Chain A
Amino acid sequence: DAKTTQPNSMESNEEEPVHLPCNHSTISGTDYIHWYRQLPSQGPEYVIHGLTSNVNNRMASLAIAEDRKSSTLILHRATLRDAAVYYCILSLSLDSNYQLIWGAGTKLIIKP
């Protein structure tokens, strides 16, 4: 199964951009890259996903390397509410179903 590698934790200052890296060197051609985040005592929350091209939405941007072996989640202007554990996950494509394999994630600490 394809796995992801993320730093255990990162710190950033409020109102600055944050770049969260993820390595997935064994990714297969049909695997999507997903990012979720989990605030304390809450269920995970979808952030963004992509396959090959960079993606933008109102929450964040996803930059995918050309060889797809790594990706970066970009929060353009971090706020204190962005403090959470961020998970980079690959989905296994099995027919029309899929399953997400989660790692331990990156704990993002935002300093005021």
Chain B
Amino acid sequence: GAGVSQSPRYKVAKRGQDVALRCDPISGHVSLFWYQQALGQGPEFLTYFQNEAQLDKSGLPSDRFFAERPEGSVSTLKIQRTQQEDSAVDLCASSHDRMQYFGPGTRLTVT
């Protein structure tokens, strides 16, 4: 069956540009997570949705980061006015029964 997909896989943005990263979770998965992973580090939690409700956004690093999941399926992570420190891999995961299923990630490079 289809796993979690993310698009684009790679994104290069000039500093100051806005970007939108898409996550398509596994059909029927209620829970969805966004993580950010710097090179050589483990993923860091950004935000969590249960259906369309954003229940935890404590990991979003600044008010330039915004996530939504309006119909409880596809989710978008938006980063406004990108900065060089935003360069990382952004990972999406959907979960079922305490197992998280990850997408391949979007590698964001801000120049």
Interface residues of A (CB under 8 A from B): 32, 34, 36, 41-46, 49, 87, 91, 97-105
The interface residues of chain B lying within 8 Å CB-to-CB of A45 are 102
Bound together, the chains give a CA A87 to CA B45 distance in angstroms of 14
With the chains together, A41 CA to B98 CA distance in Å? 24
Decide if the interface of chain B is mainly helix, strand, loop or mixed: strand
Interface residues on chain B, size class: 20 to 34
User: When the two chains form their complex, are residues B42 and A46 in contact, meaning their CB atoms are under 8 A apart?
Assistant: no
Q: Which residues of A contact B50 (CB under 8 A)?
A: 97
Chain B interface residues (CB < 8 Å from chain A): 4, 31, 33, 35, 40-45, 48, 50, 55-56, 91, 93, 98-105
Name the one of B41, B56, B101, B105 contacting A99, with C-beta atoms under 8 angstroms: B56
A46 touching B100, Cβ below 8 Å: yes
Contact of B41 among A43, A101, A104 (CB under 8 A): A104
